[in-house]
Structures are given as structure tokens and as C-alpha cells.
């Protein structure tokens, strides 16, 4: 497994494959299916200051090679997460990334402060959820607001590296990458879901109660690869590529475009064992192609 070892913001990863937030629960849902200690890391379901109920049903709908979701960030709140879930998760040998969000700048900084003093390995701030009315994407689609919230969060923490998760629902993602970097982000993850919609033609109602939802899965991969490529040209901090990864070839594609690590999301629903298959296949790929370390692929696009 030497060929997959890497380091991001000073944190050691046994491999660059991380489970994406919202698609892996709190990690514990998978422990009787795969050995979660073999993962590079787990980004847990988005945490907020208080427990959140999320949106009314229906919340999900399948689309061609993808799915729409409008879960609405249902979660148990930061305190319950730290009391009930984190101690269990820490029994496994993998990096825990605390994905978090807030409705206001103050909420973002409050949660960040609490998580910064906990046992998690990294923080990932979600400024890109398309499914909630307050906060979320509002911060991620306006450069001034992105700067303010990232900067305030960065100033309120002192222990853990800060990843900022970007929204693809913008016309120029480079601006947001640069803004997050200048506001103090230690790394960037991209992309969150693309805003989408689907309609039942018989009832003429939207398939989701929230009307719109976030599109994920293989359908969005080309958009995600393009955005990672653009970000790689714009920023110097590491980029974690996310969007539609289903197999080791997809991982390689993200690396060539400029990613330092990846997150696997919707694929976990399709096959809960898929991440372990991807990691095994990456090892085989490195050996077969005499690649000393997989990160050698990073940013090697020939144009």
C-alpha cells in the first residue's frame, strides 16, 4: 500500500480515497460491510450547531446515471456527534473529517470552534449545500460572503486544517477557489452537487418536496473533472476532487486534472463495498504501471 500513501495539509493518509459527506452516514453504518480502517478518510454527514430535521419527504429521485437529493442536512448536532459517534469512529484507523455548516457566520464559527478542540483530524466547511433556505449555498455563490465566512472560521480555529467545499453552481469556480485560498483555506474540495430538478408529468409536481435538489453520481463527473482542472490552475493549496467517481479510473482522471485526493459519494449507495474495491484496484494499477506513488499522476495533464 506504499504506492498510495500521501499527505494533505500535514495530515498523513494511507491512501487518497475518502468517503464523501452525506453518503457514508457517520461511518458506522458501513462497519459490518467493509473494514473502514482501510479508507484514507471519512467525511461525516454535515454537522451543525443544533440538531436539524431536514426537508419533508420525498427527498430523493433517481435520474439518468445520477440522482437528485434534497435531504436538507438532517443531522444530530455537534454535541451529540462528539458524544455518541466520534468515540466509536476513533476506534478505527482512518482520518475523520468533520464536515460542517451553519445558517449564519456566527453558527459556522461556533461549530468550527467546537470541532477544532475535538478528536477529528480535519474540518471541511460546506458552503455549497443547495438544499437549505438559509446559509449553505448562499455563502458559496457570492465571493464577498465566501471570503467573510471562510476568513472568520479560519480565525476562530487554531488546531485543525480547514478544507472549504465549493459549489459548482457558479459561473467561474476559479474566483471562488482563489477567494477561499486568500481567506485562509488550507485545502479545497470540489464539487458539491449541481442544482437540478425533475418533474412527474402525470401529477405535474416536482419529484422532490423541495422542488429542486442536488445532482450527484456519474452524470456529473465531466463537470467535476473540468472544475478540478480549472481550480488546479488557479490555486496553490491541495484540491480534493469529488463528483461521480465509480472506479479507480475515475480517481486517476481527477488526479491527472490536478486533485491531491478524492472523495467517493453516491457510489457508496450503488455498492457499499465500492470504496474498498477502488483502493485495491488503485494498488494493482500502480504495480502494473510501475508507479512508485499514485500522487505522481497529479496535474500531469498533457494539453
Partner 1 sequence: MKGIVLENKILNDKYGIICIKSDEFAQNAAPGQFLMIRPQPYDYIYDPLLRRPLGICDINEKKGTFSLLYMIVGKGTKLLSKIKKKTELSFSEPLGTGFNLTTDKKVAIIGGGVGIAPMTFLSKILHENNEVDVFYGGAEEKDILLTHIFEEYSNNLIIATEDGSIGHKGFITEVFENSLKFNNYDKIFACGPKPMLKAVYDIIDIEKIEFEVSLEERMACGIGACLGCIISTIGTDPNSNSQKRCCVEGPVFNGKEIIWETVCKE
Nearer to partner 1, 8 or 279 (CB): 279
In the block, cell 419533508 appears at: 56
Does residue 60 belong to the site contacting partner 1 (CB under 8 A)?
yes
Decide if residue 64 touches partner 1 (CB under 8 A).
yes
Q: Are 16 and 258 in contact (CB under 8 A)?
A: no
Rounded to whole angstroms, the Cα distance separating 203 from 201 reads 6
Is 286 annotated in the active site? no
Return the residue of 33, 91, 155, 287 that touches partner 1, per CB under 8 A.
33
Q: At what angle do helices 105-116 and 143-156 cross, to 10 degrees?
A: 30
Cα separation, 122 vs 141, in Å, equals 23
CA distance linking residue 246 with residue 133, whole number of Å? 31
CA distance 100 to 125: 5
- Applying CB under 8 A, the site for partner 1 has a residue count of 34
Residue pair 163/187 in contact by the 8 Å Cβ criterion: yes
Segment interacting with partner 1, rule: CB under 8 A, options 35-43, 62-70, 77-85, 184-192? 62-70
Residue 300 interacts with partner 1 (CB under 8 A): yes or no: no
Q: Which span sits near partner 1 by CB under 8 A: 58-66, 167-175, 178-186, 228-236?
A: 58-66
Residue 140, contacted partner among ligand FMN, partner 1, none, CB below 5-8 A by kind = none
C-alpha cell at 78: 455537534
Give residues in contact with ligand FMN (CB under 6 A). 20-23, 45-46, 69, 71, 73, 99, 126, 129, 165, 192-193, 216-217, 220, 242-245, 264-267
Compute, in degrees rounded to 10, the torsion defined by CA atoms 247, 251, 257, 260.
170
Q: How far apart are CA 275 and CA 248, in angstroms?
A: 9
206 makes contact with partner 1 (CB under 8 A): no
* 99 binding partner (options partner 1, ligand FMN, none; Cβ < 5 to 8 Å by kind): ligand FMN
Q: Which residues are the active-site residues?
A: 129
User: Rule CB under 8 A: which residues touch partner 1?
Assistant: 22-25, 29-30, 33, 45, 53-54, 56-62, 64-67, 69, 71, 74, 217-218, 246-247, 266, 268-272
Amino acid at each position: 500500500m506504499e504506492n498510495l500513501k500521501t499527505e494533505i495539509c500535514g495530515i498523513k493518509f494511507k491512501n487518497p480515497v475518502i468517503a464523501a459527506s452525506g453518503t457514508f452516514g457517520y461511518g458506522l453504518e458501513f462497519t459490518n460491510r467493509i473494514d473502514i480502517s482501510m479508507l484514507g478518510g471519512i467525511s461525516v454527514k454535515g454537522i451543525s450547531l443544533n440538531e436539524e430535521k431536514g426537508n419533508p419527504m420525498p427527498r430523493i429521485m433517481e435520474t439518468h446515471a445520477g440522482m437528485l437529493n434534497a435531504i436538507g442536512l438532517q443531522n444530530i448536532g455537534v454535541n451529540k456527534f462528539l458524544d455518541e459517534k466520534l468515540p466509536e469512529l476513533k476506534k478505527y484507523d482512518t482520518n475523520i473529517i468533520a464536515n460542517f455548516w451553519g445558517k449564519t457566520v456566527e453558527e459556522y464559527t461556533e461549530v468550527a470552534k467546537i470541532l477544532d478542540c475535538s478528536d477529528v483530524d480535519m474540518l471541511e466547511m460546506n458552503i455549497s449545500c443547495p438544499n437549505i433556505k438559509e446559509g449553505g449555498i448562499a455563502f458559496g455563490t457570492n465571493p464577498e460572503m465566501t471570503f467573510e465566512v471562510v476568513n472568520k472560521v479560519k480565525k476562530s480555529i487554531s488546531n485543525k486544517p480547514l478544507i472549504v467545499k465549493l459549489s459548482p453552481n457558479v459561473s467561474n469556480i476559479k474566483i471562488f477557489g482563489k477567494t477561499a485560498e486568500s481567506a485562509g483555506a488550507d485545502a479545497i474540495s470540489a464539487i458539491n452537487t449541481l442544482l437540478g430538478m425533475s418533474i412527474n408529468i402525470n401529477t405535474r409536481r416536482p419529484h422532490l418536496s423541495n422542488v429542486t435538489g442536488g445532482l450527484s453520481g456519474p452524470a456529473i463527473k465531466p463537470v467535476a473533472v473540468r472544475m478540478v482542472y480549472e481550480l488546479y490552475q488557479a490555486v496553490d493549496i491541495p484540491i480534493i476532487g469529488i463528483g461521480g467517481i465509480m472506479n479507480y479510473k475515475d480517481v486517476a482522471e481527477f488526479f491527472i486534472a490536478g486533485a491531491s485526493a478524492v472523495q467517493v459519494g453516491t457510489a457508496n449507495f450503488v455498492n457499499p463495498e465500492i470504496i474498498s474495491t477502488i483502493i485495491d484496484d488503485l494498488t494493482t494499477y500502480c504495480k502494473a504501471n510501475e508507479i512508485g506513488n499514485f500522487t505522481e499522476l497529479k496535474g500531469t495533464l498533457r494539453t
